[in-house]
Structure 1
Amino acid sequence: MSASLATVSYIGATILFILSLGGLSNQETSRRGNLYGMVGMALAVAATVFGPQVTAVGIPWIVGAMVVGGAIGLYAARTVQMTQMPELVALMHSMVGMAAVLVGYATFVDPEASKNLDSAAHAIHAVEIYVGIFIGAVTFSGSVVAFGKLSGRVGGKPLLLPGRHWLNLAGLIAVVYFGRLFLQAETPQDGMVPLFVMSAIALLFGIHMVMAIGGADMPVVVSMLNSYSG
């Protein structure tokens, strides 16, 4: 598959994902929304596996990961009760967030990802990586807490820390500061420290944000985190 065809496939998958979210907003269209999501994901996976970025050596690893992940998903879908669906969705969203973090780190250390980019394009590329990792880390930790509250493993009472808004503001300022250091890094080694610090702050931010919300509102929180990951 050529690079142009892979790009078109990714755009098509994105459109299908948007249609999927729209369909899932209503019970009458939820089946159609799920179908759009499955077709979109199949299209995105096919574009990745058969695209120019994956060699023949990497295909067995991808197929093996798909088999393991598919088996786990099939088992969960068959054994989890309908009343446990919200917590299952929260757990799956946490995996989406972690995947975004790992993809961001992998893209950052891949020399081919930013090859032949001019200074402006390189800056945009770095910002995308930084913001993507931040949102992915928030989604991961927040979804784990939401799963804990929905499953009863974490208390449903809101945890309101003194000066919590100032804590959030301080964390946001720190993220911006380390983002500046990240953009100024000349090598991947120099950029790793601010990236690691930002990731830790983002994980704490996700925990703090969801812990401050009551357990009854967790389905709404899961939907919000889903929009973040999207």
Structure 2
Amino acid sequence: MNALLKRLPALMLLIGAITIMQSHAIEFWSQYTGKLGVVWSLMLEGAALWLWAQRSISRNLMALVASALVLTGPLYQVSAPAIAQWQQSTAQPELLHKREQQLQDQRATLTANLATYNANSESRIGWAGRIDDANQALASVNDQLHALYAEQAHTTPMPWQSLAVIVMQALALMLFQILIVLCIRAITAPVPKSSQQQQQPLAATGTAVDRAIQVVKHNAKAKKSQSAAA
């Protein structure tokens, strides 16, 4: 009984850690396996627990693989926002540079066209409309360039606070997975021989007491029978 009470904290920690891990793992597997995501997640967790409970090196190696698979889902769910934001922050400068190059090419083309229109208007009439259109297009391109330069100036990398929170969550998940392994190993550990030896004298004492009670009862019945015969 004492051995079971000593394992109760480990059991409570095991239940809590599995609950947290499965809340992330089920969401991850459901994204890729649909309605069977719950089954995938629980089967992996159950397989890992059973394999860790075995006192066999080969099965413990398989348990290590199963635990890694269980941990992959929660880690992905936690780090996915950081990965997306990092990809956006690294790709945005290149996209802005390409857009800037396109606008500069457009401005150069419009400037050359405008110069041609002005030169032609000196010798011939009918170029006023084209000149106005070119001026409007050139003004629009210049406005877009100014907006683009402003966006480039305000482009900031991923804030360290968000990254720190994600790193802490990832470390906590890895700690929970280690805790699950330690708890299941503690719960399924064989009972020490010292505890068994302590229980054996108690059982022997109880048996001796029962026998003594039976002897007393037998003697009492014998005395009663002798008294009745007399």
TM-score > 0.5, shorter chain as reference:
no
State the TM-score, normalizing by the size of structure 1.
0.27
Larger helix percent: 2
Query: Per chain length, whose mean CA-contact separation is higher, i.e. which structure has more relative contact order (CA < 8 Å, sep 6+)?
Result: 2
State the TM-score, normalizing by the size of structure 2.
0.27
